[in-house]
Structure 1
Amino acid sequence: MQKQFLSLFPNYIEPTIKVSVHGIPKSYTEKLHMYVVEARFLIGKTPGAVDLARFARLDTLEKIDPSIKHRRIPAEQAAPQVDPSSTYNRHPNRRWCEAPGSLCIESRYPLEGKLPVGIRLANKLEEGGKKISEFMEFQTEIRVLPPEEIDRAGLTKLTSLEAPITGVLEQTIFSVNQVMQFGKLLAILQEHPADPNRTVATVFMALAVETDVLERKKEFENVPVLRNLIPAQVLMGKSSFNSGNSISAGLPDYVRNRIRAIADLIER
């Protein structure tokens, strides 16, 4: 059920990447590690009083994480539609950002704390290799699912809560400049089984991290100042380079803080 609902789109498979090695074209399947979080919280409101639509507005997104800056973009600027190198992230049934009521945004997050300094040093050591960027840039489609698109039976299995579904918010990250291949946030509202004045919210967040990023460590192990810049440690928030409350804090803190912010805004 998670694979069906938390992938970039149903039936998503890991992409085949085409590269050139010494002038010889080659293809390989890019392996992904999935980081999946599930959280559940109670809302002290009836389902009809919860306004999910405001989460598809820029002003609300900026309150969730002020360190990430967003700008609205038209569907024509969605990377999978215009960039040949990311066509494998195209939705097979429609174009990104053309679904009714969807908000399409491009977001930029400058890495914080000691990470930019460490990245500059790492890039100097990687002569001729792929450079690490000092910022994360990603494109996202956000929408509240219309009633006719809600798979009520499937989502009830996903939440493992037998109660009517009253609303679904979906945020899909379909283009990322590094580290990840895609991301998905799914917030599902259901009637409280025993209290009509409360709502149960189940939030899933899935991030598809590129496996080769997690496996990179040899180039840093022999440099004392970069020993803690090993990507797997940084992503899991277990490095001295981690800082702040956003992405630079590592995935566990970032996701936890984001879900808390969403819960707080819904409660208000």
Structure 2
Amino acid sequence: MSKNLSYMLNFLYQIKNHPDILSYRKVVLSDDYGASLGDFRPIHLGIGPDNRMSANRVVMDLCLFMLIDALIDRDNPDLVGEDFITKYKKLEAETTHSFIQKECFRLIRLIRNAIVHDNEAVTFEGECKKIKEDEIGIATYQDTRKMLVNLKSKKKDEKLDMYLLGKEYLNFVIWFLVFEQNPQGYSLLILKSAFNKLISNINSISDRMGDSIKECPSLSSSVLLKGFNRYVFFNAIITEDNENIFIKIKDYYSPCCDYYWESGSDVYLLPLESLVIDKEG
């Protein structure tokens, strides 16, 4: 990691850790497939000190832009010094990872420009309210909070209508891009799934790059994680032959499960979403 990236990360650690979107809960299976549960543990990307300052949104958004901009410059030295539009257009998007990096740069660049050039261009609306409660007191909430960007420009007015949940996913994906700079397998699945969650929370976008934004193409596989509060099952019965891996699954404990598997010196998390369920066997 370059010195500039390291300096920015150290600064960001002082003001706020990344969003706790991804968490895991350990589930230890007994011989009869009974389950012993642990607590959900947020996954922190890297090691840093506890929060020491409470940064406001503006500082965080500017820092996140600087972070991904520095990451792009490091990986694409021929683009150093180019303006943001040229940089975006020249970025390749041939892999899942590069496609996501390019589109996140586009989004945070729009937010950054609104902050820098017009302090009234970013507004918020909506609310998070409880709409019902079941018989045991578990509440259901409706969250309509949105970030609205409306930046006037001589060349083209730029606009973004995005739910705040989408903004949280954007923050998370940018952090993940920094810490997982060559994501493969399970890490790539997390990145792709989080990005598609981000896109699903964008109502509309219009900027100098276009009037729409696409979901991540299926460059690797069509599998997506259904959620990010994951149950990880240990001691599951797992066998393999020359072509397949067979897992005795815990009866649909949650659709967001991973099975821990060791093969030689390698360790894998096998997500339930990627498995073909054989109800006969």
In proportion to residue count, which structure has more strand?
1
Structure with the bigger RCO (C-alpha within 8 Å, sep 6+) is 1
Structure 2 length-normalised TM: 0.22
